[in-house]
């Protein structure tokens, strides 16, 4: 049996796997600990049998629908390389909008206190702390496994993060913030997108029911945890902006606004707590 496999052969073979060409290159680059540019410039280099076998295994996982981020153990978010595992949602590019909005609100504040509810990998909290070193960040999660991922990311990136275990506000009794952020589970329990997301933790994707239960809990508790003039910013589903605006208005928030994501979909809604 011919065990000699060149990079060009591996890439060509992968073409029939149904996996995106970019993902195939990223898998191989990760396995060989080389850049994609190196791969393309050295496509006559020969893979060791163990490397070829590892590539086949990784390709099979990707072809079965597992997110690339879990296979390589890492995902880039807002300029940070975050470790991810199946204990946490894979950070999404649209969530960078939440970070950008937060950074606008924090600009010029001396030592603002910020909470990220349901932090998962720590993506939102760490990105805010990275770009706004003056801010003091607290991140919560109901999942101890997720908190361990966030803690490891904070340590590896050298970004201080206060972590608290518990569901939404239960993690933060008596604590008050200048800004609260959350990308909670917001997909409805019977949404037809869920099966395609089966590799990610279900509790990070859906609160079950109509998809609004976590958003309701966060808005309901926010007045007790925001300083006067503080802001609450929430990520939500493409069709939930109206419902989130109504929740914020009913709770007494002002200056309510919605922002659209890169796809032009209403994705984040926030408001100012008048106190």
List the end-to-end C-alpha distance of the chain, in Å, as a whole number: 74
Among 119, 140, 143, 183, binds ligand GLN (CB under 6 A): 183
Nearer to ligand GLN, 209 or 252 (CB): 209
Helix axes 7-14, 49-63, angle to 10 degrees: 20
Tokens representing 83?
A: 């470790």
Q: State in angstroms the smallest separation of the CB of 255 from ligand GLN.
A: 24
Q: Which of 66, 99, 109 lies closest to 182, judged by CA?
A: 99
Q: Is 185 in the site for ligand GLN (CB under 6 A)?
A: yes
CA distances for 266 relative to 20, 97, 122, 163, 258, angstroms? 28, 11, 23, 30, 6
Question: What is the rounded CA–CA span in Å between residue 41 and residue 45?
Answer: 9
Q: Is 187 in the site for ligand GLN (CB under 6 A)?
A: yes
Tokens representing 222?
A: 């926010």
Q: Which of 120, 126, 115 lies closest to 90, judged by CA?
A: 120
Among 6, 34, 92, 136, binds ligand GLN (CB under 6 A): 92
Interface of this chain with ligand GLN, residues 244 to 263, rule: CB under 6 A: none
Nearer to ligand GLN, 92 or 199 (CB): 92
Q: State in angstroms the smallest separation of the CB of 46 from ligand GLN.
A: 39
Q: State in angstroms the smallest separation of the CB of 29 from ligand GLN.
A: 25
Q: State in angstroms the smallest separation of the CB of 224 from ligand GLN.
A: 23
Q: Is 186 in the site for ligand GLN (CB under 6 A)?
A: yes
Interface of this chain with ligand GLN, residues 199 to 228, rule: CB under 6 A: 205
For tokens 């349901």, the residue is 118
| Residues contributing to the site for ligand GLN (CB under 6 A) | 92, 183-187, 197, 205
């Amino acid at each position: 049996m011919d065990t000699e496999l060149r990079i060009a052969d591996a890439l060509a073979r992968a073409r029939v796997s149904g996996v995106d060409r970019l993902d195939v290159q990223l898998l191989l680059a990760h396995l060989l600990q080389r850049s994609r540019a190196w791969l393309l410039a050295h496509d006559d280099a020969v893979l060791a049998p163990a490397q070829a076998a590892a590539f086949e295994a990784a390709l099979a996982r990707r072809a079965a629908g597992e997110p690339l981020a879990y296979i390589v153990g890492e995902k880039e978010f807002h300029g940070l390389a975050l470790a991810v595992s199946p204990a946490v949602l894979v950070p999404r590019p649209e969530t960078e909008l939440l970070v950008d909005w937060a950074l606008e609100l924090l600009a010029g504040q001396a030592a603002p206190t910020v909470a990220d509810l349901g932090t998962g990998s720590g993506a939102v909290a760490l990105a805010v702390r990275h770009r706004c070193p003056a801010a003091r960040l607290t991140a919560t999660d109901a999942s101890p496994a997720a908190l361990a991922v966030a803690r490891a990311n904070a340590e590896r990136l050298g970004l201080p993060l206060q972590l608290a275990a518990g569901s939404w506000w239960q993690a933060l009794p008596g604590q008050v913030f200048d800004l609260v952020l959350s990308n909670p589970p917001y997909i409805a329990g019977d949404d037809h997108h869920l099966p395609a997301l089966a590799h990610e933790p279900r509790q990070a994707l859906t609160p079950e029911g109509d998809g609004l239960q976590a958003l309701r809990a966060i808005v309901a508790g926010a007045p007790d945890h925001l300083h006067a003039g503080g802001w609450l910013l929430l990520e939500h589903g493409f069709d939930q902006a109206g419902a989130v605006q109504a929740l914020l208005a009913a709770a007494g928030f002002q200056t309510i606004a919605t922002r659209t994501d890169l796809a032009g979909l209403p994705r984040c809604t926030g408001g100012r707590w008048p106190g």
